[in-house]
Amino acid sequence: MIKVENLAKTYETKVRKGFFKSNKVQLEAVKNICMEIEKGKIIGLLGINGAGKTTTIKMLSTLLLPTSGRITVDGIDAIKNPMTVKKRINMVAGGERMIYWRLTGRENLWYYGQIYGIDDKILSKRIDELLNLVGITDKQDTPVENYSKGMKQRLQIARGLINNPDYIFMDEPTLGLDALIAKELRNHVKKIACEDGKGILLTSHYMAEIEELCDYVYILNKGEIIEKGTPKNLAMLGLKNKTVYLKVEKNSVAYEGIYNACRLTDKSVVVEHDNKEEQFTITSSLDLKLTLSKFCMNNKVPIIKLYEEEPKLEDAIIRFAKEA
Ligand X SMILES: Nc1ncnc2c1ncn2[C@@H]1O[C@H](COP(=O)(O)OP(=O)(O)O)[C@@H](O)[C@H]1O
Q: How far is the CB of 19 from Mg ion (least distance, A)?
A: 32
Closer by beta carbon to ligand X, 56 or else 283: 56
Q: Site map for Mg ion, 8-47, x if CB under 5 A?
A: ----------------------------------------
3 vs 212: CA distance, rounded Å: 24
DSSP summary character for residue 313: H
- Asked if 170 and 14 count as a contact pair (C-beta separation under 8 A), the reply is no
User: Of these partners, Mg ion, ligand X, none, which one is at the site of residue 231 (CB under 5 to 8 Å by kind)?
Assistant: none
Q: Are strands 199-204 and 242-248 parallel, antiparallel or unpaired?
A: unpaired
* The one-letter amino acid at 320: F
User: Of these partners, ligand X, Mg ion, none, which one is at the site of residue 49 (CB under 5 to 8 Å by kind)?
Assistant: ligand X
- Interface positions, 43-72, toward Mg ion (CB under 5 A): 53-54
User: Of these partners, ligand X, Mg ion, none, which one is at the site of residue 52 (CB under 5 to 8 Å by kind)?
Assistant: ligand X
Q: Site map for ligand X, 5-24, x if CB under 6 A?
A: ------x-x-----------
- Asked if 167 and 73 count as a contact pair (C-beta separation under 8 A), the reply is yes
Q: How far is the CB of 175 from ligand X (least distance, A)?
A: 11
Q: How far is the CB of 54 from Mg ion (least distance, A)?
A: 3
- Interface positions, 37-56, toward ligand X (CB under 6 A): 47, 49-55
Q: Which residues contact 260 (CB under 8 A, 6 or more apart)?
A: none
Q: Which residues contact 100 (CB under 8 A, 6 or more apart)?
A: 107, 108, 111, 144
* The one-letter amino acid at 38: E
Q: Are strands 242-248 and 303-308 parallel, antiparallel or unpaired?
A: antiparallel
Q: Would you count residue 61 as binding ligand X (CB under 6 A)?
A: no
- Asked if 173 and 189 count as a contact pair (C-beta separation under 8 A), the reply is yes
Q: Would you count residue 201 as binding ligand X (CB under 6 A)?
A: no
Contacts to Mg ion by CB under 5 A: 53-54
Contacts to ligand X by CB under 6 A: 11, 13, 27, 29, 47, 49-55
